[in-house]
Structure 1
């Protein structure tokens, strides 16, 4: 097949990079031309990821500066913040799908405040498209840089944006409690992520100041037409992948109306699904897939409702959404390479 698009994956030794490779292997229009992981350069993917043993033709890992980008159509950045923008900003013109936080925030000062470093390429921020696919679809075909949202913002924003934009809920008091599998914390060696630390336990982190908060507030504010500040508390739970957000909102409308707003917003979406009345979203419904499940419930307190959404943090919350964006950037069917059903049990 001669019409394949050649891709490079930077940071292929991490969880998001490996899941990107997993999806790219069976994508009909992707050719994996280069895989980079500076600390693992010289090794094969199978050597560090045993599930790639059946794919010996995958390129060996190299350092990013060893890649010849002249023949690359698209670059997926699966690197940590700051390192991603520093490297990607030097590319000569390839289209970029970045999975780090580096191009999500439009204000370099906000980035510096939340990430503790000056932005490596502030001149690129204005032109980057925030790649929450369902709300960025029109901008993606012409985009050179697409910033894939964080996993928490993906779930939260898909649950809330239609409700905020239609003024179905108050933008003043939004409380989000979120649960994520341990893969959301990355593959680096951290004491807090060791098995004895996370097994049989749940713990909150980033309390009151998690780095995903400003991008959620940025996008909610754009839809609300005013500044929105949320309360957000993430928790790490003892599972490998998956994410569930429970959001308490205030509304002058009933739950049926909120469901109508979400149903209208997502009626034609291939990956976002409003569940039947009374069915609670669960991570087992979406594991290993690019699907999202959402539902709304009445709170016992009058004037409040509970919105719940579940995603796979490594697929729709990261690599799957990156492939979805890639498809639209290159004029391909949006679902290409993402048709796999959730894995259950």
Structure 2
């Protein structure tokens, strides 16, 4: 069984693709984004996958790759085209290479034109392909910087992508309209830049006259990506919280485990977001937990101090997860959800006040 996920970074409109072999749990990530490395690592952990490779389809100009960061987190190897001239990769890919994960593999096809080092990746059964910025949904990557060449791009698309089966699904590295997937048959017929009866000269003329502004992040992204994402130096990147051993979930929530919390009750503030009858009910409550129901939390957040980190708790962990979002919006940074809530707390025999037997 193939495990497949299409992930999205809203700021750069970048798609990241996770593929894994369901038997061996070996995985690859295509075009990861630096700011989403924490999210991607959480998904890998939740699905029980072992990341073998991150693969960049080219040196991106609009975001910094997450390849280096994920290597630090997971031990994965970095793969990129040998023609990219990027430094620091573990594997440099050439046309015809294969990247194996379990019993599955991706075939590397050189598709230059957007940049000189662009590649596309074709799944072993040719049911899907990942085209980077070479071919987009009803569009193509631009050809006016990073050794771009419209003639090379036209030929690459026709020879390496349009030669795939018509039913092959095509997944681009970007889409700015919310579109997620296309097919070889669709793009052959409907792509307004190089589909239908359009010839190479038509395409070159079209691309030469686009008149697009340079990507806003190009001065940061390209130098960082030439080093596979090493040390982008962006001061906006927040460090990992270090006040407790927290777990980051794919849903975007920091969670804390009951054992650590029980051992450090005096070093945190516990906010119980259940209703009063639950707080006083048979599940009991954690000692010194302050009751502020979820519906009142946004208004009463000013009652909570900043001197200690905050742990939110509810019956099963759902409402308290939302409480962490509310508290962060209110300006609190050191906030975590009690994983499993009071149900897990009681099941593990943790200390309670006012609880029934």
Higher-RCO chain (CA-CA 8 Å, sequence separation at least 6): 1
TM-score (structure 2 length as normaliser): 0.28
The structure that is helix-richer by fraction is 1
TM-score (structure 1 length as normaliser): 0.29
Structure (1 or 2) with the larger CA radius of gyration: 2
